[in-house]
Amino acid sequence: MIESFSHTVYFAPRGKDRIQHLGNHISQRHLKANDKLIGLIGKAGAGKSLLIKGMFPGLNLTNDDEGINLRPLPVLDEFEEGKFRSHSYHVDIRFETAFSQPWELGKAIDKAIKKNRRVIVEHFDLIAPYLDAFPDVLVGIGEEVILARPGVFGPTPEEIKDVVFDSIENRFMAHSAEDLTAMVIEKRGYMRPPLHSDVKSGFVLQFDQEPDFSIEEIEEEVQELIASDEKIKFLDDDHIEVGEEKYVCTGPRIHVGRTGDISDFRLLKEYKRDPVTGFYLLVGIVGERRGQLELSCGCR
């Protein structure tokens, strides 16, 4: 039952469509109609705004990824007028503290909630000390997406922040290594891997038939690209640039800055066949192996 729900964890996907699809899944499965305060925590580029767009289709983001800024801030402007006209409001605290004091934002958010409005807050950890209420739902985005219903005994925003800030680099590394691996496979004359999926601290490329290329040779070529320390640059919503080479990417902001930032890259040396779908899976891993995420509330 939702009333006994404490927290759950999802893989944090990397493509835009997959992030928004997860947001939609979260809203249908975990949000209740009377949830008023929803907080999101994660570093820049983690995908908070995309997740919000999936969770709340049609919501006007006050500072979205395309740089469209709503001025004045609706929830603060309408608080000062004494009348809230909308049902839901979005606030990016990191952005808004350039224009307003945190305590001003906190008062406006508290008043909106008391007036039965919903407020979705990015960088919730920065405003939590200035609010009277616990968030109904708290979402942390790092290597994984952690969704919790906090209470008196936690998890606290700082606990969620510590987990997701520590793990986000593995997600950036995994995505960059995933694209480098796909690039090497394509350069060898093979079709772009049709489907991508996730494992902890890594990625999965899925093929409808078993490839006949050498996994060891693919791994060696990717490691050479990593050693070359090429710059990885965002070009547009559908492309990145690796060195001077343009490449199609569904999550162009979710990358490390240079190929040399990828550590401990390796490919599993055999394909795993999914007995349900029949796909052959090529698995790549990055970074040091981590244990289970653990929060001080005792959840695992």
Question: pLDDT digits over 9-45, tens only?
Answer: 998 988 888 899 999 999 999 999 999 999 999 998 8
Cα–Cα distances (Å) from 43 to 28, 90, 91, 145, 243, in that order, read 25, 17, 16, 12, 25
Residue 268 — pLDDT band, cuts 50, 70, 90? very high
User: Which residues, in sequence order, are CB contacts of 116 under 8 Å at separation 6+?
Assistant: 36
Instruction: Let me know whether 131 and 219 are in one domain.
Output: no
How many structural domains compose the chain?
Answer: 2
Q: What SS3 class is residue 259?
A: helix
Q: Are 174 and 58 in contact (CB under 8 A)?
A: no
Question: Does residue 299 sit within a domain?
Answer: no
Residue 87 resides in a domain = yes
Domain co-membership, 38 together with 113: yes
Distance CA 262, CA 255 (A): 10
Same domain, yes or no, for 73 and 213? Answer: no
Q: Which pLDDT value is given to residue 291?
A: 42
Q: What is the pLDDT of residue 4?
A: 58
Note whether 133 and 175 are same-domain residues. no
Assigned domain for 120 exists: yes
Domain limits for position 228: 169-285
What's the number of CA atoms in the CB half-sphere (13 Å) around residue 99? 14
Q: Say whether pLDDT at 148 is over 80.
A: yes
Q: Are 238 and 185 part of one and the same domain?
A: yes
Whether residue 32 is contained in a domain is answered as yes
Count of residues for the chain?
A: 300
Its sign, for the CA torsion 231, 234, 239, 244, is negative
Q: How far is CA 181 from CA 144, 208, 214, 259, in A?
A: 22, 17, 12, 12
188/127 same-domain check: no
The CATH number covering residue 75 comes to 3.40.50.300
Q: Which of 299, 169, 182 is nearest to 240 (CA)?
A: 182
How far apart (Å, rounded) are the C-alpha atoms in residues 87 and 69?
19
Q: Taking all residues of the chain, what is their mean pLDDT, rounded to a whole number?
A: 87
Domain shared by 146 and 249, yes or no: no
What are phi and psi for residue 83, nearest 5 degrees?
-150, 125
199 versus 216: the higher-pLDDT residue is 216
Same domain for 13 and 118, yes or no, is yes
Q: Is residue 163 part of a domain?
A: no
Percent of the chain with pLDDT over 90: 63
| CA–CA separation, 83 and 85 (whole Å) | 6
What spatial distance separates the first Cα and last Cα of the chain, rounded to whole Å?
Answer: 18
Residue-level pLDDT at 26: 95
pLDDT bin (cut points 50, 70, 90) of residue 223 is very high
Contact assessment for residue 239 and residue 252, using Cβ atoms and an 8 Å cutoff: yes
Most confident of 4-18, 269-283, 285-299: 269-283
- What is the phi/psi pair of residue 118, to 5°? -105, 135
Average pLDDT over residues 229-243: 93
Q: Does the pLDDT of residue 103 top 60, yes or no?
A: yes
Does residue 10 form part of some domain?
yes
Distances (CA, A) of 278 to 53, 127, 186, 271: 33, 48, 22, 12
Q: How many CB atoms lie within 10 A of CB 150?
A: 21
Confidence category of residue 70, pLDDT binned at 50, 70, 90: low
CATH assignment of the domain containing 235: 3.30.980.10
Final residue belonging to a domain, choices 151, 180, 206: 151
Q: What tens digit of pLDDT does each residue of 122-141 get?
A: 999 999 999 998 899 999 99
Contact, 249 vs 228, CB < 8 A? Answer: no
Q: Are residues 48 and 146 in the same domain?
A: yes
Residue 161 lies in a domain: no
**Residue at 134 is within a domain:** yes
